[in-house]
Chain A
Amino acid sequence: MNGTNQMDAIVKPIGTSMADADTINSDIKITASGVKVYYGDNEALHGVDINIPARTVTALIGPSGCGKSTFLRCLNRMNDTIDICRVEGDILLDGEDIYKSSMDVVQLRARVGMVFQKPNPFPKSIFENIAYGPKIHGLFKDKAELEGIVQGSLERAGLWNEVKDRLHEPGTGLSGGQQQRLCIARAIAVNPDVILMDEPCSALDPIATAKVEELIDELRENYTIVIVTHSMQQAARVSQKTAFFHLGDLVEQGPTSDIFTNPQDQRTQDYITGRFG
């Protein structure tokens, strides 16, 4: 899928992830229990239970239409924007129910940032792209502080050196990979706890993919990352925990090394060995 087989030949695996598999953080950031999602009358997720560890990369894998993106979008309530979508069950972020009526969605999305499949920078300058989040959340006192946030975010996204001379040129003028890192920097700028990534590399070429993967690995130190990916190689490279979805069910979850080397479920085995999906 997505030419990832060829990619392996070009990009050396980061390699640390598999070895780090046992370093899954024991702190739990997000707890989901019995999450069911309906699109109208159609049940898309049939009760998902999962713990998402803090400061760890959790990969959600599975064939198309299995519900992994749907589940991801439950975590910051992006599904609220779809009229016919209904979510049941509990999702706790730091022990707090994010679907309770007193939860402010805007605050939630500040804490749970998101990076989308297709790079979607605002059609504004690079600076404005990063500064927008801090502006609406009032995260700075003066211009100097804002500039600091912008520089810091771009640095952490590994983009600073590439764009520091053209901060006021449109973000849409960057290459696809740079745009995606700009989107990651934009998500970082509001200082979230969790970053959700919905197939962040599917629109990128292998070299840009490698850069973003490297970045994800670095971000793990400070952020809890949940990534949806179609590429099992990518899941293996960047994640410490993997969850396999199939037809709306969470089939199997566990340390990435276990899932890939010793899957318990036949469906997981079939999927990771490429028999379907």
Chain B
Amino acid sequence: MTDLNTSPVPSSVTSVHATDAARQRLNKRKAANKRFRLYGMAGVVIAIAALVMLLSTLVVQGYSAFYTHTMELTITLEQDVLDRNNTQDPEILARANYRKLVKNEVYSLFDDVTSRRDKRAVSALISNGAIDALREAVLDDPTIIGSTITITAPVSDDIDMLLKGHIDRNVEEQLRRVSDRQIAWTDSLVERGIIKRAFNTYFFTQGDSREPELAGIWGAVKGSFYTMVVTLLISFPVAVGAAVYLEEFAAKNRFTALVEVNINNLAAVPSIVFGLLGLAIFLNFFEMSRSAPLVGGMVLALMTVPTIIIAARAALKAVPPSIREAALGVGASPMQAVFQHVLPLAMPGILTGTILGLAQALGETAPLLMIGMVAFIVDIPGGITDPASALPVQIYLWADSPERAFVEKTSGAIIVLLVFLITMNAAATILRKRLERRW
């Protein structure tokens, strides 16, 4: 040491950090640094491009699901056709021949419709929804029989597709689902203002249907909602309880280590396996009802519990031990220390994990297929034991349907599902930020 301090460094000896070799090493390191940054940026660009592609495809294909074309029909509710003897009996009124009234009105819109074939072709312009709308109006208020009312009903899916440009008018007539005459009629109705473009309320208020123009996601949304409620109510208390016990109270021994490993494994089990488990236990053994959000929620809860446990344990671990010591130091029991101090501090993290777990469950299809939620269900579920579908399953069903009109429905439903997921994730982020700021 003293040697170095007293004798000056000979000028011929340069520092080891100033040689050419050192400079080369430095340049190499700088280049590696730069390359690594470029890789990172390339990764980000690719990720953003993929996201943009996904979203733009969805929006381009799906935005047309949110509007539809409706036809305005002015129909005289003839007593003779509907209720000849004026019984006003709801049963007779429900089975009355509304079809005839609707068809006659549609025929009357055109002068050139005379033959049977023409009649069939022209009645294909309007959806069966018109008949339902008429029946509903009469059943609502039977006294309107005999008067003339105006109803608005969607056009049939083929005409809707034509008007949205999904059916190419230049294709040969035989290869087209819509004949030249139907095109002519449609154009004339549009010109006369009878067919109008409108917001697609059916899509947001109806259950599933065989008729694409009448199919909606409300049934699936409600089914998903009930399923999520069941999932939340089961998985949150169970998972938080398990996490608190494992993290704060359980002795650290081989048994708890084994439990921990298994919980982590459980989080990685493919979801279809949970579906099969639900099928075997809930449906076959306990004989619970098929297609019910109750069972769906229970199966998804099985899947969500490990996710929440892992998030909750991480959140509990992140609470500084000094808080526990402080509480114990003033004489709080271990339970008081956990429930009055540690758990409230861990709550933002736990809630974030819960919402993310639920978002994952919301998008889950496979387990629901196994327990029968894939069934074609028209009625909108009114509770957790009614047969129901769920959003992702609805998407799966529609994606499988042959009609061209279901393509946009599929994308539309995906957009709705993504909106829910993004909302949930945003809520998780906001919640975390909000609660964190309080401390």
A122 to B326, CA, bound (A): 8
A122 to B327, CA, bound (A): 8
Say yes or no: A187 contacts B345, CB within 8 Å: no
* 8 Å CB contact of A120 from B251, B252, B323, B336: B323
What mask results when residues 216 to 232 of chain B are scored 1 for a CB within 8 Å of chain A, else 0?
Answer: 00000000000000000
Is A250 in contact with chain B by the CB < 8 A criterion?
no
CB within 8 Å of B: which A222-274 residues: none
Is B6 in contact with chain A by the CB < 8 A criterion?
no
What mask results when residues 186 to 230 of chain B are scored 1 for a CB within 8 Å of chain A, else 0?
Answer: 000000000000000000000000000000000000000000000
Shortest Cβ distance from A123 into chain B, in angstroms? 4
Chain B residues whose CB sits within 8 angstroms of the CB of A106 once the complex forms = 331-333
CB within 8 Å of A: which B293-347 residues: 320, 322-334, 336, 340-341, 345
Say yes or no: A136 contacts B328, CB within 8 Å: no
CB contact under 8 A between A78 and B328, given known A122-B323, A172-B439: yes
Say yes or no: B326 contacts A110, CB within 8 Å: no
Shortest Cβ distance from B34 into chain A, in angstroms? 42
- The SS class assigned to the B binding surface is helix
Say yes or no: A107 contacts B330, CB within 8 Å: no
* 8 Å CB contact of B328 from A81, A83, A187: A81
Chain B residues whose CB sits within 8 angstroms of the CB of A187 once the complex forms = 329-330
A51 to B324, CA, bound (A): 29
**Residues of A in contact with B, size category:** 20 to 34
A133 to B329, CA, bound (A): 9
Shortest Cβ distance from B344 into chain A, in angstroms? 9
Chain A residues whose CB sits within 8 angstroms of the CB of B328 once the complex forms = 78, 81, 109
Say yes or no: B331 contacts A110, CB within 8 Å: yes
Say yes or no: A133 contacts B331, CB within 8 Å: yes
**Residues of B in contact with A, size category:** 20 to 34
Say yes or no: A137 contacts B326, CB within 8 Å: no
* 8 Å CB contact of B329 from A107, A109, A170, A172: A109
Is A116 in contact with chain B by the CB < 8 A criterion?
yes
Say yes or no: A116 contacts B331, CB within 8 Å: no
Shortest Cβ distance from B245 into chain A, in angstroms? 15
CB within 8 Å of B: which A90-119 residues: 106-107, 109-110, 113-116, 118
* 8 Å CB contact of A136 from B252, B320, B331, B438: B331
CB contact under 8 A between A120 and B331, given known A170-B439, A172-B439: no
CB contact under 8 A between A83 and B331, given known A78-B325, A116-B325, A121-B326: no
Say yes or no: B331 contacts A107, CB within 8 Å: yes
Which single residue of chain A is at the shortest CB-CB distance from B336? A136
A118 to B251, CA, bound (A): 27
Is A48 in contact with chain B by the CB < 8 A criterion?
no
Task: Identify the interface centre among A83, A107, A121, A132: most chain B CB within 10 Å of its CB.
Answer: A132
CB within 8 Å of B: which A178-237 residues: 183, 186-187, 189-190
* 8 Å CB contact of A116 from B329, B332, B333, B340: B329
A118 to B320, CA, bound (A): 11
Is A70 in contact with chain B by the CB < 8 A criterion?
no
Is A17 in contact with chain B by the CB < 8 A criterion?
no
Is A76 in contact with chain B by the CB < 8 A criterion?
yes
Which single residue of chain B is at the shortest CB-CB distance from A84? B252
Shortest Cβ distance from B114 into chain A, in angstroms? 84
Say yes or no: A120 contacts B345, CB within 8 Å: no
CB contact under 8 A between A120 and B330, given known A83-B251, A170-B439, A172-B439: no
Say yes or no: B322 contacts A116, CB within 8 Å: yes
Chain A residues whose CB sits within 8 angstroms of the CB of B331 once the complex forms = 106-107, 109-110, 113, 133, 136-137, 190
Chain A residues whose CB sits within 8 angstroms of the CB of B334 once the complex forms = 81
Chain B residues whose CB sits within 8 angstroms of the CB of A115 once the complex forms = 329
Chain A residues whose CB sits within 8 angstroms of the CB of B341 once the complex forms = 122
A115 to B320, CA, bound (A): 16
Chain A residues whose CB sits within 8 angstroms of the CB of B322 once the complex forms = 116, 118, 120
* 8 Å CB contact of A190 from B330, B333, B336: B330
Q: With contacts A83-B252, A120-B325 known, what are 5 further pairs, Cβ within 8 A?
A: A76-B329, A106-B333, A113-B331, A116-B326, A120-B322
14 residue pairs from A and B, CB less than 8 Å apart:
A76-B329, A78-B325, A81-B324, A109-B330, A109-B331, A110-B331, A113-B329, A114-B325, A116-B325, A118-B322, A120-B323, A123-B345, A133-B331, A136-B331
Interface residues of A (CB under 8 A from B): 76, 78, 81, 83, 106-107, 109-110, 113-116, 118, 120-123, 132-133, 136-137, 170, 172, 183, 186-187, 189-190
The 7 closest A-B pairs by CB, nearest first: A120-B322, A110-B331, A133-B330, A123-B439, A114-B329, A109-B331, A120-B326
